[in-house]
Structure 1
Amino acid sequence: MLETRKVRLNYLAILVSALVYFGMQAVWFTVFMTDWLEGIGKTADQLHQEGASVVLAYVIGFAGALVMAAAISWFTQMTGKQSVIRGILVGIVAWIGFVLTTWSAEYAFEEKGLRILMVNTGISLIGMVVMGAIQGAWKAKSATVTVDAI
């Protein structure tokens, strides 16, 4: 039987949690820069010489953070009453179910170490927990989207 639930996306909460996560990533990868570079097998000079667009990387990173924040908000509301604890649990479950499983399979086949796996996915766990807490705590709602849930 389908049950109708109303999901109210709070665009300000989504934006704020995405900005917080984006900032956390900047700090995280600054702190773990050496480990990250070692894990990807490159030096900072090599990255600069490759000439990849830093602006494009930041745009993609922030767009991903926005999508992640919206998804966490949606899943938090779809699984029950919106709360900080529910948001945190959604962040943890989403990280285990999607981030850790995807990256660990890739890293197993590429024979990358556990250390770089933790550098690359650790910030996602922390960030998704923080996003979930923000989404769960922020009660003001914006647009409403009605969906059918099983």
Structure 2
Amino acid sequence: MAVGVPVMQMARVRQNYLAILVAAIACFLLEAGWYTVFMNTWLNGIGRTMQWLVNSGMNPYLQYATALVMAVLMATALSCVIQLTGKQTALRGIKVGALLWAGFEMTTWSTEYIFEVRPISLFLVNAGYWLFGMMLMGAIVGAWKKKA
């Protein structure tokens, strides 16, 4: 090995699947509460009514399963990033969740909404949920370390 060349060591990710599942379920429950509170704002923003949603023919089990599976994937990704970038703590998890939200979620929603000419109220409901959801999942997977 050359003198003066730094050696990088691979960080080891140890996924805590129970923490990931709990984080995903917590985010899923937050989503249920969030969209219950902001239901009218959300419906107005998407130009739909509750009656339309009920009569849409969409299988609610498929919708809920999709939401939960996607939350599991996001919690897994958050866990990886938290572990690979520093100390695993609840506070770092919250910070990583907020940073990833700002870098990916907010930017994606903003671009989409500006071109689709959607109301800012809808942006605040949808993007706001993901800010709190990602911070919540980050806190859980950040705080709950896998035992060696």
Normalised to the residue count of structure 2, the TM-score between the two structures is 0.92
Question: What corresponds to 2:96 in structure 1?
Answer: 90
Identity of aligned residues (%): 48
CA contact (8 A) 2:88 2:143 kept: yes
Question: What corresponds to 1:147 in structure 2?
Answer: none
Structure 1: gaps spanning 5 or more residues: 143-150
Q: Which runs of 4+ in 1 moved over 6 A?
A: none
Question: What corresponds to 1:101 in structure 2?
Answer: 107
Question: What corresponds to 2:139 in structure 1?
Answer: 133
Question: What corresponds to 1:4 in structure 2?
Answer: 10
Q: Following the alignment from structure 2 to structure 1, what is the Cα–Cα distance between the partners of residues 136 and 49?
A: 31
Question: What corresponds to 1:146 in structure 2?
Answer: none
Question: What corresponds to 1:112 in structure 2?
Answer: 118
Kindly indicate whether structure 1 or structure 2 has the higher relative contact order, using CA contacts under 8 Å at least 6 residues apart: 1
Q: How does 1:1-150 map to 2 (within 5 A)?
A: 2-141=8-147
Q: Following the alignment from structure 1 to structure 2, what is the Cα–Cα distance between the partners of residues 135 and 141?
A: 13
Aligned length: 142
CA contact (8 A) 1:18 1:69 kept: yes
Letter in 1 for 2:71: A
CA contact (8 A) 2:15 2:146 kept: no
Q: Following the alignment from structure 2 to structure 1, what is the Cα–Cα distance between the partners of residues 122 and 77?
A: 26
The structure with more radius of gyration: 2
CA contact (8 A) 1:18 1:131 kept: yes
Letter in 1 for 2:64: Y
SS in 1 for 2:10: strand
Query: Larger strand proportion, structure 1 or 2?
Result: 1
Letter in 2 for 1:20: A
The 3 A distance-change label for structure 1 pair 141 and 101 is farther
RMSD: 1.2
